[in-house]
């Protein structure tokens, strides 16, 4: 059976699961942060067009390294 994606990606169960998970991590790290906004901002990074635009052919791991560094910086680690 094919999986169904919501017409609105923000209502998609997978997106909501990841948003909730990231929001919890951000809130636990610093309750004063706008955890919901940060979760949306991090998830926005995984847009396919952005990944293709920021990943040069000679450095296919650049995107992964950059996301890892951003996550560490946002979580204060």
Question: Rounded to an integer, what distance in angstroms lies between the CA atom of residue 55 and that of residue 67?
Answer: 12
Find where tokens 């920021």 sit. Answer: 54
The per-residue pLDDT for range 31-77, each reduced to its tens digit, is 898 999 999 999 998 888 888 898 999 998 998 999 889 888 877 76
Contact 29, 75 (CB under 8 A): yes
Phi, psi of 13 (to 5 degrees): -55, -40
Tell whether pTM > 0.85: no
CB-based contacts of 23, cutoff 8 Å, min separation 6:
35, 36, 38, 39
């Amino acid at each position: 059976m094919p999986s169904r994606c919501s017409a609105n990606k923000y209502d998609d169960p997978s997106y909501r699961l990841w948003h909730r998970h990231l929001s919890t991590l951000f809130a636990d790290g610093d309750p004063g942060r706008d955890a919901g906004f940060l979760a949306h901002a991090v998830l926005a990074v995984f847009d396919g067009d952005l990944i293709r635009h920021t990943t040069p052919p000679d450095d296919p791991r650049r995107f992964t390294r950059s996301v890892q560094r951003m996550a560490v910086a946002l979580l204060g680690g």
